[in-house]
Amino acid sequence: MSITLRPYQDAMLGDVRDAFRSGFKTPLLTAPTGSGKTVLFSFVASKAAGKGNKVLILVHRQELIRQTSATLTAFDVPHGIIASGVPETDEAVQVASVQTLVRRLDRMTWTPTLIVVDEAHHATRTTGHGRVLAHYPEARVLGVTATPERLDGQGLGALAGGFFDALVMGPTVAELVQLGHLSKPVVYAPPSAVDLSGIRTVAGDFNKGDLAAAMNRPAITGDAVQHYARHCNSAPAIGFCCSVAHAESVAEAFKAAGYQAASIDGTLDPDTRAQRIADLGSGALQVLTSCEIISEGTDIPIVAAAILLRPTQSLALYLQQVGRCLRPFPGKDRAVILDHVGNCHRHGLPDDDREWSLDSKPRRQRKKEDDETPTRQCEHCYEVHRPAPECPSCGFIYPVKSRRIEQVDGDLQEIAPDPARLAAKREQAKAATLDDLRKIAAARGYSPRWAEHVYRARQAKQTAWRGAR
């Protein structure tokens, strides 16, 4: 069997080739979860091997080895696997577990000429990925990731001390939604933010132990069950939790509410784990919860909802979790994200366009960018969406807020506009010419300069408005 690339994948491939042809040796390709990165780099590997290259595909999880191997097989690409317990072979394409390869580097005789790095945001000088890349300085490198950004703000680019010398941009989430290759994400969040005071930040993200204590509470879990009932129509959902115990208690709460639910974690035997994932895929399970296992690389297109119960400062983790429910599937007209932890306020909506860079960014700057993401929350159904006069989900029309606000006892309160002031404004609006404005100024005892000032401000506003069109 062979695989046909989609048009946008062809374009990505062309851009990668252009980067190599322009003399770059280590481009980094960025494209969202669900854009078919595995298909793309498997295609690259097969073409490169056909031209006599030795291609090393570097992945860091068991599941990704299986997925990549299956894709290469679909392309009829003979390949070996470098992983513990698997005998080594000498095919021109090798799929390697980073952990295993790092241990074997000193005795490897097979030398790659092209290295494909999956989840390439892990590739810095100090990681296993980095040690492999540093071991083969002559090889060309193609990095692939959905989020070319690290929690510590360290850039992945050569100028920032990293490995990559060019950034190749694939399609955005919004574009893939438009093309029908991803489902439209719809985000609902509770009206009040979860209390994260006292949660420590360790290595750039919230401390998981602190989080588990803060999040594993009946009120929050009950809220999750209620929102699932209201918005998800019993569609298969994944719940992202802070600890194994948290995942278990959330699954219990869903069961108590009459849903088919289960949790998975690393201590389960692989068969039970695989069975529960399969049950979610077949619809036998409605809700599967976990604290770690299902973030990266689990591909179950029928999953139509993500229940976010783990606050994170990692944009990569947030997008990976959300990405688990964005795959298109027959009959699935949208992907529902129930954000109980404020991640969409922290990182923006899943289909926001993002500006990536290979440079290092100070933390404060990243935070500022996050803060600038404009969102609005419906006070009726709690959907979080881009600013609009009405809620795209329930059609609630936002009341137009009056502009006069007075401070009373330290609280900001809305006060009805003063009728006399309104009448004066109306009279002023009716005055079409500078002469009319001068008459008003005279009648009210204003300075004649007031009329000129209002007139000029009006003209400037009109010009600006025309310019904007």
- Binding residues for Zn ion (CB under 5 A): 378, 380-381, 383, 391, 393-394, 396
The least distance separating Zn ion from the CB of residue 340, rounded to whole angstroms, comes to 17
The least distance separating Zn ion from the CB of residue 322, rounded to whole angstroms, comes to 20
Give a three-class secondary structure readout of 299-335.
CCCCCCEEEECCCCCCHHHHHHHHHCCCCCCCCCCCE
**Angle CA 178–233–184, to nearest 5:** 10
Tell me the β-bridge partners of 201. Answer: 206
Tell me the β-bridge partners of 384. Answer: 187, 377
CB closer to Zn ion out of 36 and 185: 185
The least distance separating Zn ion from the CB of residue 239, rounded to whole angstroms, comes to 23
Query: Strand, coil or helix: what is 373?
Result: coil
CB closer to Zn ion out of 24 and 228: 228
334 to 148, 174, 316, 382, 398: CA distances (angstroms): 26, 13, 22, 16, 23
Backbone angles phi, psi at 69, to 5 degrees: -60, -40
Question: Residue 26 and residue 52: Cα distance in Å, rounded?
Answer: 19
CB closer to Zn ion out of 195 and 379: 379
The least distance separating Zn ion from the CB of residue 383, rounded to whole angstroms, comes to 5
The least distance separating Zn ion from the CB of residue 379, rounded to whole angstroms, comes to 8
The least distance separating Zn ion from the CB of residue 393, rounded to whole angstroms, comes to 5
CB closer to Zn ion out of 229 and 440: 229
CB closer to Zn ion out of 67 and 377: 377
CB closer to Zn ion out of 119 and 351: 351
The least distance separating Zn ion from the CB of residue 397, rounded to whole angstroms, comes to 10
Question: Residue 221 and residue 245: Cα distance in Å, rounded?
Answer: 13
Question: Residue 236 and residue 389: Cα distance in Å, rounded?
Answer: 32
CB closer to Zn ion out of 278 and 394: 394
What the block records as the tokens of 353 is 């366009």
CB closer to Zn ion out of 230 and 380: 380
Question: Residue 171 and residue 175: Cα distance in Å, rounded?
Answer: 6
The least distance separating Zn ion from the CB of residue 438, rounded to whole angstroms, comes to 48
CB closer to Zn ion out of 309 and 391: 391
Question: Residue 107 and residue 82: Cα distance in Å, rounded?
Answer: 13
Kindly state the helix (H) or strand (E) to which residue 117 belongs, with its residue range: strand 114-117
Helix, strand, coil distribution of the chain in percent, nearest 5: 40, 15, 45
The one-letter amino acid code at 17 reads: R
CB closer to Zn ion out of 116 and 187: 187
The least distance separating Zn ion from the CB of residue 331, rounded to whole angstroms, comes to 23
CB closer to Zn ion out of 140 and 385: 385
- Helix runs in 75-184, H state only: 98-104, 128-135, 173-178
Question: Residue 224 and residue 190: Cα distance in Å, rounded?
Answer: 9
What the block records as the tokens of 442 is 């005279």
CB closer to Zn ion out of 275 and 375: 375
Do strands 114-117 and 93-97 pair parallel, antiparallel, or not at all (unpaired)? unpaired
What DSSP state is assigned to residue 379? T
290, 265 in Cβ contact below 8 A? yes
The least distance separating Zn ion from the CB of residue 345, rounded to whole angstroms, comes to 17
What DSSP state is assigned to residue 164? B
- Helix runs in 37-127, H state only: 37-50, 62-74, 98-104
Backbone angles phi, psi at 333, to 5 degrees: -95, -10
The least distance separating Zn ion from the CB of residue 385, rounded to whole angstroms, comes to 8
Q: What is the dihedral of CA 335, 283, 281, 178, to 10 degrees?
A: -20
The least distance separating Zn ion from the CB of residue 400, rounded to whole angstroms, comes to 17
